[in-house]
Amino acid sequence: MRISDFNTTGLIGSDQDYNTPWQNLVKASGVSDKGGSSGGSFGIGKSAPFACSDLRTVFYATYDMNGLQTYQGIARLVSFTLKSRFLKRDTDNITTGIGYYGEMDRNRAIPECRSLDQRFERTDVGTDVFVLGFMDKSSWKTEVISSILEDFLISIYLGLLEVKVEDIVISKETLQDVIEIYKEQAKMAYNYYQTLVSPDAYIITENYEGMGEVELHILIKNGLHRRVLMSRSNGMKVFDQKNFPSAIQFAGICILKDENINSYFREMENPQHDAWEPERHSRSSEAKKVKQGLFRYIKENVLNLGRKTTVAELDAEGMGEYIPDDDSFNSGNDKQESIVDSTKNIDLNMSELKSAQRGFEVAISSNSNGIENSEGIPEDEGFGESGSKDFGDEKANSSKEGNGFGNNEGDGPGTNGDGTNHYDIGIDGEPPSKVKKKYEIHIMSVRLILLDDKCNRYRLVFMPQNTCGEGYLQFKLSGEQSDIKVNVSNAIKYSTSENLKTSNNVIYLNDIVEKKKMAVEFNVDYGERSSMEVSLYGYKI
């Protein structure tokens, strides 16, 4: 495999022995002279070509901006002990594992720009990397193209980078066609590309904390993945910021525009260049606050724009009983429609509609910076509570037709005497026949936290609107077409570690108290992260 760059400076310093771009790439280990908004800074990524070589051998050739031409090969093999020719056993001599193809004198490079590709000869300034024994997987071309789209989308969109993978050219002019072809393999990039090109996207520019300019692109649109791409000024992606409110479907891009702010956040990057870790910064405490402040700034803009542009379509339940299909007006006679001067009165009666709040929360990772109190409830800033208070409070009413329930026990005997049978667990979350009445208890706030993604362990924190002695939580996955039941198990009450009964997609509770936060932990039998609907019901026996 040949990898060649153009319109660069080439690897200068091939005629020197130490701390030059050529020497740091070819000879040194764990050394880099890059800074600011440049690429890697740990000197580790240069080992990647060797991982793609069955022979663990790579050749470099460069034609630098000063006119120097250089060529050298390096093999990084496994060290082993040498056997004695005479004793036929291991000796104390161990091979170094590193070999060079070049001048014998001090392992110097050959002063030529040679090519191992017979179809290519370099005439312009730049560098070539030749990977010998390339691990030629059948899907390598697709993997390379999708990786380029995911990690360098903004660079390509701004015209700072063009990449040619065999016969596929990825440039500013061809980006739309290429990303459409590979949108299944580069799903994240496809979402972000819509943010870049849509006329409905918002662009917000601000000098963040006096450190430099930050450019934020946000597109509110159904079906987007609720992520923000965090990018350097050169268009290279660092990571995708997630954990945003599930009610707002959007995609965003945050670009650190100025050199100062790039350098500051670059000091937080890990060796993989896919995360900001404040403890790596020379001023770690300050860096932690700066990082949190930037995320808060992004979240506030997403929430503000989401409130303005998100429109939910609601199905008015029961309307079909009163508004007939068009065909029902046709009695079989060939009647013609006409405009008349007379008026008619039409009475339209509506049954009372009452909305019920349910929790629609994507699981929040438990490794956040938030602190939990004794109830297992995070005390960090969070992303707000879902739903709104658009329903009655269901307090006891003065008339017998009221829909509330009294708070005191009756003092008279039952019609059939005192009951002796214990409540039996129903099937599929439905109460058994002994239950005389079940009713929904509205949830004032709900939050679902992912504790262990391997075991699918969750913690649910919620606040009931009403008091109820007995009740149960019911869980469903929110699908595009319909809700799907998700089975739960190993449920406990967080505050007391008390085991709770479960049945299919239901957790049974007691002592449900109005406006008192409760927390339960449980496992689900669904391996993928998904929006989950949570309903709370009470029952009377």
Q: Are residues 7 and 121 in the same domain?
A: yes
Q: How far is CA 110 from the centre of its chain?
A: 48
3-state secondary structure 452-481: ECCCCEEEEEEEECCCEEEEEEEEEEECCC
Whether residue 524 sits in one domain with residue 379: yes
* DSSP result, 260-323: HHHHHHHTTB-TTSS-B-GGGSTTHHHHHHHHHHHHHHHHHHHHHHHHHH-------TTGGGTS
Look at residues 170, 197, 224 and tell me which one is the last residue of a structural domain: 197
d(CA 255, CA 205): 10
Whether residue 531 contacts residue 246, with contact meaning beta carbons closer than 8 Å, is answered with yes
Is residue 131 packed enough to be buried (19+ CB in 10 Å), middle (13-18) or exposed (0-12)? buried
| Residue 369, burial from CB neighbour count under 10 angstroms (0-12, 13-18, 19+) | exposed
The closest of 205, 232, 17, 215 to 108, measured between CA atoms, is 17
Half-sphere exposure of 511 (CA within 13 A, CB side): 9
Quick check: 178 and 145 in contact, CB under 8 A? yes
Say if residues 312 and 387 touch (Cβ distance below 8 Å): no
Distances in Å between the alpha carbon of 1 and those of 6, 121, 136?
A: 17, 15, 9
Identify whether residues 30 and 108 lie together within a single domain. yes
Do 488 and 523 share a structural domain?
yes
Q: How would you class 495 by CB atoms within 10 Å of its CB: exposed for 0-12, middle for 13-18, buried for 19 or more?
A: middle
Question: Could you tell me if residue 331 is inside a domain?
Answer: no
Where in the sequence is the domain holding 165, given as residue range(s)? 137-197
141 and 131 in one domain? no
Do 367 and 534 touch, CB atoms closer than 8 A?
Answer: no
The torsion defined by the Cα of 361, 366, 369 and 375, in degrees rounded to 10, comes to 80
For each of the chain's 541 residues, which pLDDT tens digit applies? 999 999 999 999 988 878 889 988 888 776 655 554 454 445 577 888 998 999 999 999 999 999 999 999 999 988 888 776 665 667 777 777 888 999 988 888 999 999 999 999 999 999 999 999 998 778 899 999 999 999 999 999 999 999 999 999 999 999 999 999 999 999 999 999 999 999 999 999 999 989 999 999 999 998 899 999 999 988 899 999 988 876 788 999 999 999 999 999 999 998 888 899 999 999 999 999 999 999 999 999 998 888 776 444 444 445 544 454 444 444 445 555 556 666 666 665 554 444 444 444 444 444 444 434 444 444 443 433 333 333 344 444 433 444 333 434 444 444 444 444 334 445 444 445 445 567 788 787 788 888 887 888 888 988 888 888 788 888 887 665 556 788 899 999 988 889 999 988 899 988 888 888 889 999 988 766 667 788 888 876 6
HEC readout, 8-65: CCCCCCCCCCCCCHHHHHHCCCCCCCCCCCCCCCCCCHHHHHHHCEEEEEEEEEEECC
What region, left, alpha or beta, does residue 10 occupy, with left being phi > 0 and alpha being psi -120 to 50 degrees? left
Last residue of a domain, one of 197, 217, 241: 197
| Residue after which a domain boundary falls, among 167, 197, 227 | 197
Residue 401 lies in a domain: no
Do 379 and 520 fall into the same domain? yes
Kindly state whether residues 10 and 55 are assigned to the same domain: yes
Residues 436 and 481 in one domain: yes
Overall pTM > 0.75 = no
- Residue 349 in any domain: the answer is no
Is residue 173 in some structural domain? yes
Asked whether residue 98 is domain-assigned, the answer is yes
Give Cα separations from 269 to 16, 181, 296 (angstroms): 30, 32, 19
How many domains would you assign to the chain? 4
Same domain, 68 and 92: yes
